[in-house]
A and B are shown apart, each in its own frame.
Chain A
Amino acid sequence: QQQVKQSPQSLIVQKGGIPIINCAYENTAFDYFPWYQQFPGKGPALLIAIRPDVSEKKEGRFTISFNKSAKQFSLHIMDSQPGDSATYFCAASDHTDKLIFGTGTRLQVFP
C-alpha cells in the first residue's frame, strides 16, 4: 500500500514532442505528490508538485494532471528539448517528510 507505481521505465521522443509519465498509488492518506528530475551524477531536483485539491498544475513547460478517484497522476512535458533528457521520479507523502518514490522514467529527447 506504500508503493508508487511509475511507467514507462523509459521513453524516447523527438524534440517538440510531449512525453507523458504516469504514476499510480494505493494509499489514500497520500496528500502531496512531487516530481523530481535527476541528471547523471546529480541529486534529484524538484520540478513541480501538486496536492489533491486541484486536478492540474502548470509550471512553465511542465504540467501535472491529478485524478484523485483513480489514484493516478501524470507529468506532461510540453515542447520537449534535448536538455530535458534525464530521469524523472514521481513521489508521494502523507503529512510527513517521508517521500515514497516511483521507480523512475529515463527520458531521451532527440533533436
Chain B
Amino acid sequence: KAGVTQTPRYLIKTRGQQVTLSCSPISGHRSVSWYQQTPGQGLQFLFEYFSETQRNKGNFPGRFSGRQFSNSRSEMNVSTLELGDSALYLCASSQDRDYEQYFGPGTRLTVT
C-alpha cells in the first residue's frame, strides 16, 4: 500500500498570505489528523477529520482550518500567515480511533 502523501513538500509564503496544504491518506483509512512540528513547541495536534467531519480540535487559533473530502483526502488552510507559523506540517492517517496512526513526510512551510 502507498503511504500517506503530502503536497507540496516545501512552501515559502509571505506574512499575511494564506496557504493550503494537501494530504492523501493510506488507502482505506478514513481518519486524517494534522500536526504542527516546531523546534520550540514540538509536535502539536491541530485537528482530526473522519468521514468529512471534524471530530477533534487542538488549541490553535481560528486561522487554522481544515476539511476532508468524500475520498478521505484532506486539506488544511492557514490564513493571514504569521512568522510563527513557520513549521513542518504533518498529516497522519488511521482506520479510525484506537488504530495506529501513520504519518506522511510533511510540508515544510516557511513564512517570511
- The B43-59 residues at the A interface (CB cut-off 8 A) are 43-45, 48, 50, 55-56, 58
> How many chain A residues have a CB neighbour from B under 8 Å?
22
Contact B58 A98 (CB under 8 A): yes
> How many chain B residues have a CB neighbour from A under 8 Å?
25
B interface: dominant SS: strand
A interface: dominant SS: loop
Specify which of B42, B43, B56 is in contact with A96 (CB 8 Å cutoff).
Answer: B56
Q: 6 other contacts beyond A97-B55, A97-B92, A99-B45, with CB at 8 A cut-off?
A: A46-B102, A46-B103, A98-B58, A99-B43, A101-B42, A103-B42
Give A residues with C-beta under 8 Å from B. 32, 34, 36, 41-46, 49, 89, 91, 95-104
